């Protein structure tokens, strides 16, 4: 979307993040994705009469971690409220959430777009509980068309934080950058596995378009049902375009909630009736105000890990790497720790970065595994970089060794020995091979002598083949030239 036109797009993002606490928000049930339906439930998360919610201290801690990482103020006193509406996946027919007194307020997240840093304001971060899941067997998913519905309450009561941004995002690309950075930050904090496809990160967006520089926002549209960062970007691009066209055509826009249809690649209005709720918020009488001890907050602050933005700055400074590599390596704790450990074990940073971002990333991608799920270790990487650097193995041999390590996990030294990847750099041994090659290829040798320099490549190739790939190609060429030019 052109940005030099008369209109600008204003986007605010609301993200729901499932916290990876051991237990649920208000009861002791395991907080675990993928268990058989209704096996992680108790009287509390099923809303049985008389049961009471007790806030999970770990979830409060995680929410404070997020708030501190985003530069928020931690409210000395915040409240849980009840958000009342009837829905069968909500056991109590109210959701315990936070309303006018959230736990964390007023932070920001810096994101990079086109090499420029943009600061996106964070309005608030608050705690709430997740709902169960409704399944409508054999239908398109709309309750009205189903014969019956099934409820799975394993997810009911899982701790959620809602992270609400200011309407500071100006493009779909910025939204993607924001979500990517938020995701990396949450991963670094260790508070969530942030898997959009499993629903542990969910995102809604408010979008409007207004005259550039206007103080008032345009007609706001809320978009729901975006299941990946990519689909957020696509939905926003579509919606931005739709609203701009409407403005250009003079068609009035209505304030509404629209649903992103991933397959059709467009947003569609939800029947407004479905969302015409009066939630009748009131303070949750079963839970006293949250008043976290300031000493505890400072303890949490002191325990914050290095955040992705800080790490990027440090990597760029300490290792002299190009920005693209810094983004990949510093983008997650997993990659950053792996890289730094390899460097600590003696690997040259630039070489290690190349191996990781090219060959290793390619292997992971090809086999669809995470770095943590592969057999490759920082020690493998350090050995690889050292052996290639010393000339003990060729870079082709290095690739082969990496693949082998990836598949089997054996040490690089062992792989090099077993597969005979060590470069033959012994002049006598290699000289013998060179002599054989020249004897068997009198034609090309003659061509070289008569000035066709290019044929040397063919001869080096022959030496490599005969040596089973173990020859040091540089040395092979030197020996070939020496013999051919001295006429030997």
Partner 1 sequence: MGDPREPCDLPAHEIAARLASGEGSAGQVVESSLARIEAVDGRVRSFLAVTAEQARQRAAEVDRRRVAGETLSAVAGIPLALKDVLATRGIPTTCGSQILRGYVPPYDCTAWARLQAAGSVLVGKTNCDEFAMGSSTENSSFHPTHNPWDLDAVPGGSSGGSAAAVASGQAVWALGTDTGGSVRQPAALCGVVGMKPTYGLVSRYGLIAFASSLDHVGTFTRTVRDAATLLSAIGGHDPRDATSLPGPPPDLAATLEEGVRGLRIGVLEEGFGEGVEPGVRDRIGEAVDRLAALGAEIGEATLPHAGYTLSAYYLIAPAEASSNLARYDGVRYGHRADDPRDVVDMMTRTRGEGFGDEVKRRIMIGTYALSAGYYDAYYGQAQKVRTLIIRDYEEAFGSFDLLLSPTSPTTAFRLGERTDDPMAMYLSDVFTIPANLAGVPAISVPCGVDERGLPVGLQLTGKVLDEATVLRAAHAFEQDLGWTTRPPLLEAAAG
Pick one of Zn ion, partner 1, none as the site partner of residue 29 (Cβ within 5 to 8 A by kind). Zn ion
Contacts of 299 (CB under 8 A, 6+ apart): none
Residue whose CB is less far from partner 1, 100 or 114: 100
Q: How far is the CB of 136 from partner 1 (least distance, A)?
A: 10
Output the six-digit token pair for 322. Answer: 């190009």
Listed ranges 67-75, 211-219, 223-231, 278-286: which one lies at the site for partner 1 (CB under 8 A): 278-286
Collapsing DSSP to helix, strand or coil, 213 comes out as: coil
Pick one of Zn ion, partner 1, none as the site partner of residue 93 (Cβ within 5 to 8 A by kind). partner 1
| CB-based burial label for 423 (10 Å; 0-12, 13-18, 19+) | buried
Residue 397 touches partner 1, criterion: CB under 8 A? no
Among 45, 177, 247, 336, the residue binding Zn ion under the rule CB under 5 A is 45
Residue 400 touches Zn ion, criterion: CB under 5 A? no
Residue 287 touches Zn ion, criterion: CB under 5 A? no
Residue whose CB is less far from partner 1, 131 or 171: 131
Listed ranges 49-57, 264-272, 310-318, 394-402: which one lies at the site for partner 1 (CB under 8 A): 49-57
Query: How many chain residues interact with Zn ion (CB under 5 A)?
Result: 5
Output the six-digit token pair for 75. Answer: 């409210």
Q: How far is the CB of 228 from partner 1 (least distance, A)?
A: 29
Residue 49 touches partner 1, criterion: CB under 8 A? yes
3: left (phi over 0), alpha (psi -120 to 50) or beta: alpha
Taking CB under 8 A as the criterion, which residues in 421-460 touch partner 1?
none
Among 65, 92, 242, 380, the residue binding partner 1 under the rule CB under 8 A is 92
Bridge partners for 49 per DSSP: none
Output the six-digit token pair for 359. Answer: 């060959």
Pick one of Zn ion, partner 1, none as the site partner of residue 45 (Cβ within 5 to 8 A by kind). Zn ion
Residues 225, 264: Cα–Cα separation, whole Å: 13
Collapsing DSSP to helix, strand or coil, 160 comes out as: strand
Contacts of 420 (CB under 8 A, 6+ apart): 468, 470
Pick one of Zn ion, partner 1, none as the site partner of residue 117 (Cβ within 5 to 8 A by kind). none
Binding mask 25-44 for Zn ion (x = CB under 5 A): --x-x------------x-x
Torsion of CA 185, 188, 190, 196, to 10 degrees: 50
Q: How far is the CB of 159 from Zn ion (least distance, A)?
A: 12
Contacts of 454 (CB under 8 A, 6+ apart): none
Output the six-digit token pair for 210. Answer: 């207004």
Residue 50 touches partner 1, criterion: CB under 8 A? yes
Residue 144 touches partner 1, criterion: CB under 8 A? yes
174 touches 201 (CB < 8 A): no
Q: How far is the CB of 290 from partner 1 (least distance, A)?
A: 10
Residues 425, 183: Cα–Cα separation, whole Å: 48
Residues 109, 310: Cα–Cα separation, whole Å: 12
Q: Which residues bind partner 1 (CB under 8 A)?
A: 42-43, 46-55, 82, 84, 86, 88, 91-94, 143-144, 149, 151, 278, 280-282, 285-288
């Amino acid at each position: 979307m052109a940005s030099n036109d008369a209109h600008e797009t204003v986007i605010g993002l609301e993200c729901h993040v499932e916290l990876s606490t051991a237990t649920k928000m208000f009861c002791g049930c395991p907080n675990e994705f993928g268990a058989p339906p209704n096996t992680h439930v108790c009287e509390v998360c099923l809303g049985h009469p008389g049961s009471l919610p007790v806030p999970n201290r770990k979830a409060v801690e995680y929410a404070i971690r997020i708030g501190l990482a985003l530069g928020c103020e931690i409210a000395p006193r915040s409240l849980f409220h009840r958000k009342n509406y009837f829905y069968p996946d909500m056991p109590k027919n109210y959701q315990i959430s936070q309303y006018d007194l959230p736990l964390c307020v007023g932070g920001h997240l810096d994101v990079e777009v086109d090499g420029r840093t943009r600061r996106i304001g964070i309005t608030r971060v608050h705690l709430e509980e997740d709902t169960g899941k409704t399944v409508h067997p054999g239908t398109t998913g709309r309750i009205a068309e189903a014969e019956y519905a099934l409820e799975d309450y394993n997810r009911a009561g899982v701790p959620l934080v809602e992270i609400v941004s200011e309407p500071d995002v100006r493009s779909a690309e910025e939204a993607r950058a924001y979500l990517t950075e938020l995701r990396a930050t949450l991963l670094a904090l260790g508070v969530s596995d942030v898997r959009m496809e499993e629903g542990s990160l969910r995102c809604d967006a408010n979008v409007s378009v207004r005259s550039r520089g206007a103080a008032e926002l345009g007609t706001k549209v809320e978009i729901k049902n975006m299941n990946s960062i990519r689909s957020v970007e696509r939905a926003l691009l579509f919606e931005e375009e739709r609203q701009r066209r409407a403005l250009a055509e003079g068609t009035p826009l209505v304030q509404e909630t629209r649903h992103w249809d991933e397959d059709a690649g467009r947003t569609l209005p939800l029947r407004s009736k479905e969302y015409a709720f009066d939630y009748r918020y009131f303070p949750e009488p079963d839970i006293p105000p949250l008043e976290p001890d300031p000493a505890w907050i400072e303890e949490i602050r002191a325990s914050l890990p290095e955040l992705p933005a800080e790490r990027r700055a440090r990597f760029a400074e300490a290792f002299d790497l190009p920005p693209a590599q810094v983004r990949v390596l510093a983008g997650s704790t997993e990659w950053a720790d792996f890289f730094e450990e390899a460097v600590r074990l003696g690997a040259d940073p630039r070489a290690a970065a190349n191996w990781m971002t090219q060959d290793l990333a390619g292997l992971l991608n090809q086999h669809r595994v995470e770095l943590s799920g592969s057999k490759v270790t920082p020690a493998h990487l350090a050995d690889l970089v050292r052996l290639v650097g010393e000339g003990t193995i060729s870079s082709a041999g290095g690739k082969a060794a990496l693949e082998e390590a990836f598949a089997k996990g054996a040490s690089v030294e062992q792989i090099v020995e077993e597969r005979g990847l060590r470069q033959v750099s012994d002049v006598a041994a290699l000289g013998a091979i060179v002599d054989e090659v020249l004897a068997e290829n009198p034609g090309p040798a003659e061509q070289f002598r008569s000035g066709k320099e290019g044929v040397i490549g063919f001869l080096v190739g022959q030496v490599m083949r005969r040596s089973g790939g173990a020859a040091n190609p540089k040395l092979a060429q030197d020996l070939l030239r020496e013999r051919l030019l001295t006429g030997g």
